[in-house]
Amino acid sequence: MDLIEAATRVRENAHAPYSGFKVGAALRADGGAVHVGCNVENIAYPEGTCAEAGAIAAMIAAGDTRIEEVAVIADSPSPVPPCGGCRQKLAEFAAPDVRVTMATTRGGRQTLTVRDLLPGAFGADHMDG
């Protein structure tokens, strides 16, 4: 399954009545399963959920634990990267070289790795003591 296509489809389900900025995310787990998520806003803005976080939660709920590839799409003039918190969430479940493709509904694309998005990521090796 094409991840951009899956992210595009789930983006339509986003709950974004306040900003109108719908985001869809899709990820492929190491077993090949595709998990999707969309942003879910709340009138109390900090209580919303990002699309990437939703896709990760769906992956974990399904029993998968490793991300092999990610796609994020939004209606924006340029590809929208994951927020800082989602970059850390991606780093929790993806190797540093996992590709993250960011796309626009107008056809723009940019692909970076998790390492590119979050250099110097905090990881489990920082907790060894």
CATH number of the domain that 76 lies in?
Answer: 3.40.140.10
Q: Give the range of the structural domain holding residue 78, as residue numbers without chain letter.
A: 3-120
Q: Let me know if residue 129 belongs to a domain.
A: no
**Within its chain, how far is the Cα of 108 from the centroid?**
17
Chain mean pLDDT for the chain:
96
- Is 40 annotated to bind a ligand? Reply is yes
Q: Let me know if residue 77 belongs to a domain.
A: yes
Return the pLDDT at 23.
98
pTM score above 0.85: yes
- Is 44 annotated to bind a ligand? Reply is yes
Helices and strands: H and E segment counts in the chain = 4, 5
Give the DSSP per-residue string, 59-100. Answer: HHHTT---EEEEEEEESSSSPPPPPHHHHHHHHHHEEEEEEE
Active site residues: 52
- Is 13 annotated to bind a ligand? Reply is no
pLDDT tens column, 97-121: 999 999 999 999 999 999 999 998 8
Whether pLDDT at 21 is above 70:
yes
The arithmetic mean of pLDDT across residues 43-59, rounded, is 96
Q: Let me know if residue 128 belongs to a domain.
A: no
Q: What angle do CA 78, 82, 87 make, to 5 degrees?
A: 150
CA dist., res. 44 & res. 61, Å (int):
26
The count of structural domains within the chain is 1
Q: Let me know if residue 63 belongs to a domain.
A: yes
Return the pLDDT at 116.
97
The arithmetic mean of pLDDT across residues 59-66, rounded, is 98
